[in-house]
Amino acid sequence: MPEQRTATLTTIFSDVLADLAFMFNDDSDEVQYSSDELWLESSVSYRGVAAGTLRLRCTRTFSVTLAANLLGVDPTDIDSDAKADDAVKEFMNIVCGQLITALHGTEHVFDLTIPEIHVLPEMPDMEDEGTGETVAITVEGQQLQLAYLAGDAPRE
């Protein structure tokens, strides 16, 4: 079941990324980021007859590329971190909505939290399984870590 959920999450994430931002997964092991690259963590939770949290860890470069593709502009036009952050949060909101339908069907109503994003103090361990169901994928040379955590969102 955890593997199924991870596969479902990966499929939905990739489909929304392709449909909305015209960005695609690649199988390359060659990731492109420098040691001083900023890493971000975004999460959104839902609650209803079931609860869960979706988490994404990505680089600032990925967030800027995502924002540019969503807005149909050049990455150099994404002139503030806020624009890039907003793109990631809305993207997570959409992925979460699709994931809920895939995991729990359309019968029940779920309440979603407002997506959050913050800068990580250091590059995350991409192999870290943590407490959730985690998968690392590469999108256009940028490594991302996706995780699904069943149940209520963990408290800080």
Binding site for other proteins (CB under 8 A): 16, 19-20, 67, 70-72, 83, 86-87, 89-90, 93-94, 96-98, 100-101, 106-110, 112, 114
Report whether 48 contacts 140 (CB < 8 A).
no
Cα separation values, 149 from 84, 87, 95, 101, Å: 24, 22, 14, 16
Task: Kindly state the tokens that stand for 135.
Answer: 């998968």
Shortest distance in whole angstroms from residue 118 CB to other proteins: 17
Shortest distance in whole angstroms from residue 100 CB to other proteins: 7
Shortest distance in whole angstroms from residue 24 CB to other proteins: 15
Closest to other proteins by CB, 25 or 31: 25
Closest to other proteins by CB, 11 or 32: 11
Closest to other proteins by CB, 6 or 113: 113
Of all residues in the chain, what percent are helix, strand and coil, respectively (each to 5)? 40, 25, 35
Cα gap 58→49, rounded to integer Å: 30
Closest to other proteins by CB, 20 or 31: 20
With tokens 């729990």, the residue in question is 104
